[in-house]
């Protein structure tokens, strides 16, 4: 299809990335689905002829550059949307975390995201109205105790998005991010889900809800996309009165 729009998604073998790959493919887009999980990619590829799978570790710079070169051959050197989504999680007190694990989170979640965006820019700049979209997190609204490094990397993704939304405007590339709260993915255990509320901003959201937000982000103009939308109120509170949010969290209260 000569004018078929295209999207490149990292972390596409499962969770949010997989849901986004399926949604965009179903709506007529050519999808570049990248992940280091080869089995997950194989299962995804069988779902649609519109999905091109690429084995990729976002922490490997040469592999990142090669993946975009390969996908660019499928799109004629263009890219309508990048969804930088790959990420890993780790819980526990910062002081107890092994330094190698700290480094790994930064290399994948932040440096990996930067590498992916940097490599995608030539394709995005060659495409009118393109979007550089990243998966941040509600932990980029206010840091989460027990997830300090993860929160730091996602604050970095959010800050990068805000800077790029200004920096890239002159080249016709838009930038936005997704800030999901608690999402039903492999990062969430059954015990976690059982302990969470069924309503309010901390209810468990399906990965498909985040995928839909990605679709709306391409067709919209907002900078930050909160999933669920109630998280925007926490963002306002955190800006207006961060000490009050801190004190509530220290007291063990659900914001």
Catalytic residue set: 137, 150, 154
Is the CB of residue 109 less than 8 Å from the CB of residue 58? no
Give 199-215 as a DSSP string. Answer: SSTTS-EEHHHHHHHHH
Return phi, psi of residue 180, to 5°. -75, 150
**Per-residue DSSP letter, 170:** G
Q: Where are the beta strands (DSSP E) in the chain?
A: 6-10, 30-35, 51-55, 81-84, 130-135, 173-180, 183-184, 205-206, 224-227
**Structure-token pair, residue 238:** 């955190």
Is the CB of residue 202 less than 8 Å from the CB of residue 138? no
**Structure-token pair, residue 76:** 């004629």
Return phi, psi of residue 6, to 5°. -135, 150
Is the CB of residue 105 less than 8 Å from the CB of residue 86? no
The residue among 157, 147, 159, 144 whose CA lies nearest residue 246 is: 144
CA separation for the pair 97, 101 (Å, rounded):
7
Query: Cα 134 vs. chain centroid, distance in angstroms?
Result: 4
Q: Please, what is the end-to-end C-alpha distance for the chain in angstroms? A: 48
């Amino acid at each position: 299809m000569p004018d078929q729009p295209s999207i490149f998604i990292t972390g596409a073998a499962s969770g949010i990335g997989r849901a986004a790959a399926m949604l965009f493919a179903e709506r007529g887009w050519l999808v570049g689905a990248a992940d280091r999980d080869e089995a997950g990619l194989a299962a995804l590829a069988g779902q649609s002829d519109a999905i091109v799978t690429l084995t990729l570790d976002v922490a490997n710079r040469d592999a990142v550059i090669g993946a975009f070169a390969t996908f660019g051959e499928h799109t004629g050197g263009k890219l309508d949307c990048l969804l930088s989504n790959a990420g890993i999680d780790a819980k526990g007190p910062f002081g107890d975390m092994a330094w190698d694990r700290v480094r790994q989170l930064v290399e994948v979640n932040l440096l990996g995201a930067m590498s992916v965006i940097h490599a995608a820019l030539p394709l995005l700049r060659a495409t009118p109205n393109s979007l550089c979209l990243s998966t941040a997190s509600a932990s980029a609204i206010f840091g989460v105790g027990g997830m300090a490094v993860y929160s730091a990397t996602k604050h970095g993704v959010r800050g990068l998005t805000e800077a790029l939304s200004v920096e890239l405007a002159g080249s016709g590339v838009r930038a936005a991010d997704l800030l999901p709260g608690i999402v039903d993915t492999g990062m969430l255990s059954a015990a976690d889900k059982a302990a969470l509320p069924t309503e309010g901003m901390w209810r468990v959201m399906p990965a498909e809800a985040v995928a839909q937000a990605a679709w709306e982000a391409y067709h919209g103009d907002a900078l930050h996309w909160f999933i669920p939308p109630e998280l925007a109120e926490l963002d306002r509170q955190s800006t207006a009165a961060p000490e009050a949010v801190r004190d509530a969290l220290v007291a063990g209260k659900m914001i």
